[in-house]
C-alpha cells in the first residue's frame, strides 16, 4: 500500500536531491503555465477565505453555465521507483500534483458568479475571458465552500451575458491520496534481496473518480449531465508511460527528468469518466479487426508471464458482440485496460481507459482457478457494456444510476454467454443477481430504483446508490420487461435509446418511450411506463399468493418484517405452467384478490408460477400445491425447470423468514437434494441455510443441522469423489461449481472423508512446499478447510505463502483461507495485520475483516475490532463492513450495541439502518422458530 510522504529512511541526506528534482519540475510546469496565461493579463491573486457566509440556495450546481471543453494539464510529482545513487541514499517520495485547467463554457442565463466544484485543491490565479470579444473579466473574490457542496465560487466584477461564450483558467495543486481521486498504488518488481529491501518497490498513480471525485483532481463542473470534451496533457517522469481516455497525439522528452504527453480530445463525456495513469506497466495487444486498438496493461512481471493473455483474447470479442447487438460502433479508436494493484472498486469503466483490480483481470495458467475465467469475462463484459450504457448515454443524475449499472449487469449475461458458451453461466448469473436484489429489497429501509433527485444529493446518499438494488434489481426488472415485450422488441427499443441519446443524458422516461415505440411498431399493447413505474418508483416487490384449489390470487408487498404496513402494489406478469408452460403471461393489475382459471388445479396436478424466474417477485401457494411441488422434486425433479428448482427453495426459505409459511416447509424443500447434482438448486439451498448457520451456530441447533447436511451432501460428494480425491475436476463448468459446493458443505459439517482429504492435500503441499499439487479450482476450499482443521503450523504456512506469492488469484484465496482458523489468538493476530498496509492492502481491509466475522470464532472479535479502529477500517467499503460484521446479530444486547455504535460515530446512512432492521428481524425470527427448527433437524437425523 502507498506510504503518504516518507519512503526513504534517510530523509535528511536526500532532501537536497528532492529539492533539485522538484524545482526542475516546477520550472517545466512554469513554462507551460506562462504560455497559457501570457495573453490573459490575470488579476492579482485574490484571497481565499476558508468558509463562506452566503451559500447558494441549493446543493447542486446552477445550470446557468454549460461547460463545453476543458484543457487540462497535470503533473504528478510521484517517483515510480526510488533509485539509489552512488554514496547517496534515495530521494524522498512526493505525493503532490500540480496543474492548470481552462474550461470553456456557454452562458444561458446572466450571472456575476461562477460556481463549479473543487475539493482538497489549492486553487490560484483565476482568469475569466469573454471568448466572443477576447476581453478579460475581472475576478473580485474566490471562495472555497468547505461543506458538502464542494463549491468553488468565483465572483466577477462584470456579469456574464446570456448567450455568451467564456473561459475560466485556474492553476491548482493537490495531494495524491489513497484509492480515490488521484491515488498512488504500489507493487514489487522481482524479489527483494533482503528484508526491508526497497529497490524492488514500484509506484504508479492513477485516477478513480466515480461518482464525485473529479473535483479532487481539477476544478470542474462535477455533475454527470454537464458533459464536455477533455483535451489532456500529462507531464510525467522519464521512462514512464502516461495513459488517458483518448489516443496519444504525441509524447516528447523535456529534460533528464520529465516527459510530456499530449492526448487527442476525448468524446463528449461526464467528469466522472475522466481518467489517466502514469506507470512503468507494459501491455499485451488484443487480436482485433484493426479498427480499434486494444491493449491490456499490467505489471511488467505479469505481462511477461502471460497473465494478461486471457483478458486480451476475449476483450475484442466482447466489444464486437456489443457493436453487433446494438448497431453502434465503439466510439474511439483505442481501448486500454489496466490491471491495478490497488483500486477502490472492482473495476471502473472510464471511457477508453478501463481500470480493474488486478486480481479481477489477470489469469495465471496452472495457478488460477479455471472458474476465475468466469470472473474475468463477466467483469470485462460489464465494464465494456458501460462504453454504451453510461459513457455514450448517461443518466441525468445519480438517483437513476441504475440506467448505467442495471443495464451493464443485464447485458453482460448475454456477452459472456456469447464469448464463452461452454461456461453455461447465464442462468446461474441471473439467479445470483435475482437473489442479491431480493435480499436487500425485502427490508423496509430499501430504496426505489429511481428515487426523486432531491432525495439523492448529499455525498453519502450518492455513494449509497451503488448497491444491490441499483445493480441487481436494475438488471432483474430489465429482464422482466424484455420477457413482457419479447427480447427482440426490447433490443429494438434499446437501439433507439442509444441512437437517440448518444452523448446526452437521460432519465427512465426516455428509456420507456423508446421501448414503447418499439412495442407499438411491433403491434404490441403493453403500456411500458405504466407497468414499469410500479417497479422503479417504489421500494420492494410483491409476493404472489395462489390458491390452486379455487384459482384465487392476490399480491402483497413482501417484507421480512411483516408488521410493517404497506399498501404498495405492482403490475405483475405471471407465467404459469403445469405439465407444459402457458404461452402468454397472466396479469395482476391491482391489490385485489381475483380468480384466474389458469391457477386452478383441475385434476390434482401441481401449478408452478413465475416460470424460469422471469418476474421480480416471490410466489406462495396453498399447502396442497406446495406438497405436490416438493413431491415432484423428490420423485422426478427434471419436470420442474432448473431455475425454478432453485427458486422454489429460495421462496420457501424467505417466505418462512417472513412468517408466511411454516419454517418446516422450507426445510422440507431441501430433501430432494440428496439426489440433486445441478449447481443452481444446491447454491440456493446452501445460501439460504447459511442464514440458519449464522443464527444457530452458537446454539444447540447446530449439531443436528450439521448431521443432516452431512447426509444430504453425501450423494453429491460421492458423485464427484473420484475427481476430488485425485485433485481433478469435471469438464462441465456447472459441475465444477457443484464440486466446490460439495467439498465446502461436506468438510464444514464434519464429513470425515472430506476432512481427511483436505488435510492430507494441504499437508502434502506443506511437506513439498515447492510443488502445490492441489488443483487450482479446489485450492480456495481446501485451504480454508485445512486451516480450519489445523493450528499454528498450517496458519503460518498459509501466511508465509500469502506474503511471498506474486499471483493475485493465489493471494486472494490464501487471504480468505487465513480467516478460517478456529484459533482465536490467530484471528486476533490477523485482525491486527489489517492495520498494516504492508501486510493487508487498504482496499482489502473490509473484505478481510468480513471473512473473519463470517467465522463463528471470529465474529465477536471482528465486531470489537472495527469499533476500536473505525477511523482506519472505514476508509474501504464501510457499508459492506457493517453489513458483514453484524450478520450474526440476533440478540437485544447486540442490537443495543449496534445502535450505540451508530450513534457514537454519527453513522446516518442507509447501510446502518438496514443492519439495524435486519438485526430486529433476526431477533424475532430466532425467538419464534428456534424450537421447531431444532425439532425438525433432530427428527430427520434420528434414524
What is the rounded CA–CA span in Å between residue 230 and residue 847?
36
Antiparallel, parallel or unpaired: β 111-117 and 96-107: unpaired
Of 652, 650, 654, nearest to 625 (Cα)? Answer: 652
Cβ atoms of 772 and 766 within 8 Å: the answer is no
Cβ atoms of 379 and 356 within 8 Å: the answer is yes
581-588 — which CB contacts under 8 Å span 24+ positions? Answer: 581/611, 585/483, 585/484, 588/544, 588/553, 588/554, 588/555
Cβ atoms of 882 and 863 within 8 Å: the answer is no
What is the rounded CA–CA span in Å between residue 841 and residue 6?
18
- DSSP 8-state class, residue 776: G
The secondary element (H helix, E strand) that includes residue 552 is: strand 552-557
- In 402-435, which positions are buried (b, 16+ CB within 10 angstroms) versus exposed (e)? bbbbbbbbbbbbbbbbbbbeebebebbbbbbbbb
892-897 — which CB contacts under 8 Å span 24+ positions? Answer: 892/923, 894/919, 895/919, 895/920, 895/923, 897/863
For residue 222, what is its C-alpha cell?
462535477
Angle among Cα 16, 20, 21 to the nearest 5 degrees reads 115
Residues marked as catalytic: 383
Residue 886: φ, ψ to 5°: -100, 10
Of 357, 332, 354, nearest to 342 (Cα)? Answer: 357
For residue 280, what is its C-alpha cell?
512503468
What is the rounded CA–CA span in Å between residue 137 and residue 912?
49
CA distances from 417 to 324, 421, 687 (A): 15, 5, 24
For residue 830, what is its C-alpha cell?
490477523
Cβ atoms of 737 and 371 within 8 Å: the answer is yes
What is the rounded CA–CA span in Å between residue 44 and residue 185?
38
- DSSP 8-state class, residue 523: T
What is the rounded CA–CA span in Å between residue 705 and residue 544?
30
**Which residues sit opposite 160 in a β-bridge?**
111
Cβ atoms of 218 and 245 within 8 Å: the answer is no
What is the rounded CA–CA span in Å between residue 333 and residue 249?
12
What is the rounded CA–CA span in Å between residue 593 and residue 591?
7
Quickly tell me which residue has 477511523 as its cell: 871
For residue 558, what is its C-alpha cell?
413482501
Q: Is 479 exposed, middle or buried (0-12, 13-18, 19+ CB in 10 A)?
A: buried
**211: cis peptide before it, omega within 30°?**
yes
**Which residues sit opposite 166 in a β-bridge?**
105, 130
Q: How far is CA 629 from the centre of its chain?
A: 36
For residue 95, what is its C-alpha cell?
505525493
- DSSP 8-state class, residue 473: I
- DSSP 8-state class, residue 66: E
Q: How many CB atoms lie within 10 A of CB 253?
A: 10
Angle among Cα 4, 6, 7 to the nearest 5 degrees reads 100
CB-based contacts of 855: which residues, under 8 Å, 6+ apart? Answer: 819, 820, 821, 822, 827
Amino acid at each position: 500500500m502507498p506510504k503518504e510522504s516518507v519512503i526513504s529512511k534517510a530523509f535528511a541526506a536526500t532532501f537536497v536531491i528532492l529539492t533539485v528534482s522538484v524545482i526542475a519540475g516546477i520550472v517545466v510546469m512554469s513554462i507551460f503555465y506562462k504560455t497559457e496565461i501570457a495573453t490573459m493579463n490575470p488579476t492579482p491573486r485574490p484571497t481565499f477565505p476558508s468558509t463562506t457566509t452566503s451559500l447558494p440556495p441549493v446543493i447542486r450546481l446552477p445550470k446557468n453555465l454549460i461547460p463545453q471543453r476543458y484543457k487540462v494539464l497535470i503533473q504528478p510529482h510521484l517517483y515510480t521507483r526510488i533509485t539509489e545513487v552512488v554514496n547517496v541514499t534515495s530521494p524522498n517520495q512526493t505525493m503532490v500534483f500540480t496543474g492548470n485547467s481552462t474550461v470553456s463554457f456557454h452562458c444561458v442565463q446572466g450571472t456575476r458568479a461562477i460556481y463549479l466544484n473543487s475539493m482538497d485543491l489549492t486553487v490560484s490565479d483565476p482568469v475569466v475571458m469573454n471568448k466572443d470579444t477576447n476581453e478579460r473579466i475581472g475576478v473580485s473574490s474566490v471562495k472555497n465552500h468547505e461543506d458538502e457542496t464542494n463549491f468553488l465560487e468565483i465572483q466577477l466584477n462584470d456579469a456574464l451575458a446570456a448567450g455568451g461564450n467564456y473561459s475560466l483558467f485556474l492553476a491548482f495543486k493537490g495531494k495524491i491520496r489513497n484509492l480515490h481521486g488521484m491515488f498512488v498504488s504500489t507493487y514489487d518488481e522481482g524479489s527483494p534481496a533482503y528484508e526491508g529491501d526497497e529497490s524492488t518497490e514500484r509506484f504508479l498513480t492513477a485516477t478513480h473518480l466515480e461518482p464525485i471525485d473529479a473535483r479532487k483532481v481539477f476544478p470542474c463542473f462535477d455533475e454527470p449531465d454537464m458533459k464536455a470534451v477533455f483535451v489532456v496533457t500529462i507531464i510525467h517522469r522519464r521512462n514512464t508511460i502516461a495513459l488517458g481516455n483518448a489516443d496519444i497525439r504525441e509524447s516528447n522528452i523535456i529534460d533528464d527528468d520529465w516527459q510530456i504527453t499530449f492526448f487527442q480530445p476525448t468524446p463528449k463525456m461526464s467528469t466522472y469518466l475522466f481518467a489517466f495513469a502514469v506507470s512503468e506497466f507494459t501491455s499485451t495487444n488484443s487480436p482485433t479487426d484493426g479498427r480499434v486498438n486494444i491493449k491490456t496493461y499490467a505489471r511488467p512481471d505479469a505481462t511477461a508471464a502471460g497473465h494478461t493473455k486471457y483478458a486480451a483474447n476475449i476483450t475484442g470479442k466482447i466489444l464486437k458482440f456489443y457493436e453487433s447487438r446494438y448497431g453502434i460502433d465503439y466510439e474511439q479508436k483505442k481501448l486500454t485496460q489496466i490491471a491495478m494493484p490497488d483500486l477502490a472498486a472492482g473495476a471502473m469503466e472510464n471511457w477508453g481507459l478501463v481500470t480493474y483490480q488486478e486480481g479481477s483481470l489477470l489469469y495465471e495458467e496452472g495457478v488460477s482457478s479455471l472458474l476465475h475465467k468466469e470472473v474475468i469475462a463477466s467483469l470485462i463484459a460489464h465494464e465494456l457494456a458501460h462504453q454504451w450504457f453510461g459513457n455514450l448515454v448517461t443518466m441525468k443524475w445519480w438517483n437513476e444510476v441504475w440506467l448505467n449499472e442495471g443495464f451493464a449487469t443485464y447485458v453482460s449475461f448475454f456477452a459472456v454467454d456469447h464469448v464463452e458458451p461452454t461456461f453455461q453461466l447465464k442462468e446461474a448469473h441471473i439467479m445470483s443477481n435475482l437473489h442479491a436484489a431480493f435480499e436487500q429489497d425485502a427490508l423496509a429501509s430499501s430504496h426505489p430504483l429511481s428515487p426523486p433527485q432531491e432525495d439523492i444529493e448529499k455525498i453519502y446518499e450518492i455513494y449509497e446508490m451503488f448497491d444491490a438494488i441499483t445493480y441487481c434489481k436494475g438488471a432483474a426488472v430489465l429482464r422482466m420487461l424484455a420477457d413482457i415485450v419479447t427480447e427482440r422488441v426490447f433490443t429494438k427499443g434499446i437501439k433507439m435509446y442509444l441512437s437517440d441519446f448518444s452523448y446526452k443524458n437521460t432519465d427512465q422516461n426516455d428509456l420507456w418511450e423508446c421501448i414503447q415505440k418499439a412495442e407499438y411498431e411491433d403491434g404490441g399493447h403493453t403500456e411500458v411506463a405504466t407497468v414499469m413505474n410500479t417497479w422503479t418508483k417504489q421500494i420492494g416487490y410483491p409476493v404472489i399468493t395462489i390458491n390452486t384449489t379455487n384459482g384465487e390470487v392476490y399480491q402483497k408487498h413482501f417484507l421480512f418484517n411483516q408488521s410493517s404496513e404497506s399498501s404498495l402494489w405492482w403490475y405483475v406478469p405471471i407465467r404459469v405452467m403445469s405439465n407444459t408452460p402457458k404461452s402468454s403471461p397472466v396479469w395482476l393489475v391491482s391489490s385485489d384478490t381475483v380468480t384466474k382459471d389458469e391457477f386452478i388445479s383441475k385434476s390434482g396436478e401441481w401449478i408452478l408460477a413465475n416460470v424460469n424466474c422471469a418476474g421480480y417477485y416471490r410466489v406462495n401457494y396453498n399447502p396442497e400445491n406446495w406438497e405436490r411441488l416438493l413431491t415432484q422434486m423428490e420423485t422426478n425433479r427434471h419436470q420442474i425447470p432448473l431455475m425454478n428448482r432453485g427458486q422454489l427453495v429460495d421462496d420457501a426459505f424467505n417466505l418462512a423468514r417472513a412468517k408466511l409459511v411454516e419454517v418446516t416447509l422450507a426445510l422440507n424443500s431441501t430433501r430432494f437434494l440428496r439426489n440433486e447434482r445441478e449447481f443452481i438448486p444446491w447454491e440456493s439451498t446452501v445460501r439460504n441455510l447459511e442464514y440458519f448457520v449464522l443464527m444457530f451456530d452458537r446454539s444447540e441447533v447446530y449439531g443436528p443441522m450439521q448431521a443432516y447436511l452431512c447426509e444430504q451432501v453425501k450423494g453429491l460428494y460421492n458423485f464427484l469423489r473420484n475427481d476430488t480425491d485425485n485433485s481433478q475436476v469435471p469438464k462441465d463448468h456447472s459441475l465444477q461449481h457443484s464440486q466446490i459446493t460439495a467439498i465446502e458443505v461436506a468438510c464444514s459439517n464434519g464429513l470425515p472423508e472430506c476432512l481427511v482429504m483436505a488435510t492430507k492435500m494441504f499437508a502434502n503441499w506443506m511437506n513439498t512446499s515447492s510443488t502445490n499439487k492441489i488443483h487450482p479450482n479446489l485450492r480456495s476450499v481446501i485451504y480454508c478447510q485445512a486451516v480450519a482443521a489445523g493450528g499454528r503450523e498450517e496458519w503460518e504456512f498459509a501466511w508465509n505463502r500469502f506474503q511471498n506469492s506474486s499471483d493475485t488469484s493465489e493471494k486472494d484465496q490464501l487471504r480468505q483461507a487465513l480467516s478460517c482458523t478456529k484459533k482465536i489468538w490467530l484471528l486476533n493476530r490477523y485482525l491486527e495485520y489489517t492495520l498494516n498496509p504492508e501486510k493487508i492492502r487498504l482496499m482489502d481491509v473490509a473484505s478481510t475483516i468480513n471473512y473473519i466475522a463470517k467465522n463463528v470464532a471470529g465474529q465477536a472479535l471482528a465486531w470489537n475490532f472495527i469499533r476500536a479502529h473505525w477511523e482506519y477500517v472505514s476508509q474501504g467499503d464501510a457499508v459492506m463492513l457493517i453489513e458483514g460484521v453484524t450478520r450474526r446479530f440476533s440478540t437485544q444486547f447486540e442490537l443495543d450495541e449496534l445502535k450505540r455504535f451508530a450513534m457514537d460515530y454519527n453513522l446516518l446512512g442507509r447501510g446502518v439502518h438496514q443492519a439495524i432492521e435486519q438485526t430486529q428481524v433476526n431477533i424475532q425470527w430466532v425467538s419464534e422458530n428456534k424450537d421447531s427448527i431444532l425439532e425438525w433437524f433432530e427428527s430427520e437425523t434420528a434414524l
